[in-house]
Amino acid sequence: MRTCDKPADASEPTADVEHFCPEMSESTLFAVLGIFTVDEHDRHRREIRSTWLASPVAIHSYFVLCGLGALKRTIDEARAQGDMIFLQCPARMPCMQGTLRKLISWLRCAQSAWPSASLIGKADDDTWVHLPDVEHTLRHTLLKLALEQPHASPLLYWGSMESYHWDLEMRRPVGFRGLRFAFRLLPAGSWSGSGRFEYCHRRLAPNSSSALVRLAASRELPREWLADASTVAASGSIVGPFPFAKGPLYFLSAQLAARVTSDPWVQAELRTLSREIGVGAATRAEKTWAWEDVFLGLALSMVTNGSALNLFAVDAGEADHFSSLWETGLKLAPTTALWHPVTWGVQRRKSVDSIGRAHVWQRTHHCSLAIKGLHCHNYTSCAGGRWRSCYSNFVSTNGARKCSPRLVDLLASRSPSGRLRG
């Protein structure tokens, strides 16, 4: 959630909740999902409860909030609904640090409450999800990975992947590399990658005045600097590229979550970020800040090392519109299992209405996909760990009726069917 939420009305009564993360459960769960929300998004929660959260799946889902100084009406809602978890963090935090603090608290909570869960996930409350398809895809992904690496249980990091670099001195993401795994044609065996995908390196910061201006103004890294092998240095302050799963929905193996939350480097970075981002620093003047999804990708790349081949970063599959995270407005395909608004302002504020509309349309038009196979490539993490970066190859599960990946613009007309886009 990368927006700064409107602060609550100061006249509304608040209180600290009495019980935070649930007590430990001995149940063996496939996955637990935390839907990040805030006090004021009660309409979002009602809409999600009546739509995609009502699906019978093995993904146990809860709304996740901070419980110190929560609105009393939100506490009453939690008692009535029984599907909300409060974490021991302030309900009013600067937007530049709130979601990151909430993520780390949620990962720790999920590990302690459900120690037998295989996967831990995070979602935003302005997202529409087809949970049965997500569960089916996660299960089949793990089965495919187990066949590829039969000697060790696969550790999964799954979502709609993009790539970034990180400036260790500014503690901000820099050098956005676009979709998926920093795809770039490279000669096989080159200093930078495996022939198709770039490895993570430490680099010296650009030293030209023009490059520094661009870096300070927009966090962009010059293309000529990225292509220069002489910038690679063990003492460099910029690391990357590394993959990260976009914030609207992602899952990771519980063992990976444990590595992140217990790692000394991660803990030190979080303490420093918490000191640097004060209460008055919630501003959009910053081009980037320590977004929770980018930081998680960085952390996984920094804390995983060794030669084991059971680390997998798997893209959720935007090519077949399994996820629709780049389209403006409300555009879905029958194959879409994940939608999130990409625009700012009015359309994003109206996403609560779009959740219901997407759900109604997909009840009659949805067409499930199955994973036919995975296309994987080697990737070396920032700590020297050996990962496999994978794409999903989908196939229709509707027999003779092929699933259409064509986008439908649900806002193009008043008709519930919308209008097809080729």
* Domain map (residue ranges) of the chain: 125-162+241-421
pLDDT grade for 420, boundaries at 50, 70 and 90: very low
pTM of the model: 0.89
CA proximity to 36, closest of 75, 83, 1? 1
Q: What is the pLDDT of residue 30?
A: 97
Least confident of 175-179, 239-243, 306-310: 175-179
Residue with tokens 């009602």: 46
pLDDT grade for 76, boundaries at 50, 70 and 90: very high
Q: Give just the sign of the alpha carbon dihedral 346, 352, 355, 356.
A: negative
Q: Report the length, in residues, of the chain.
A: 422
Question: 351 or 333, which is more confident?
Answer: 333
- Write the pLDDT tens digit of every residue in 166-189: 989 888 888 776 545 554 544 444
Question: 371 or 20, which is more confident?
Answer: 20
Q: Are 249 and 120 in contact (CB under 8 A)?
A: no
Q: What is the pLDDT of residue 252?
A: 98
Per the structure block, which two tokens stand in for 317? 């599959």
Q: Are 156 and 145 in contact (CB under 8 A)?
A: yes
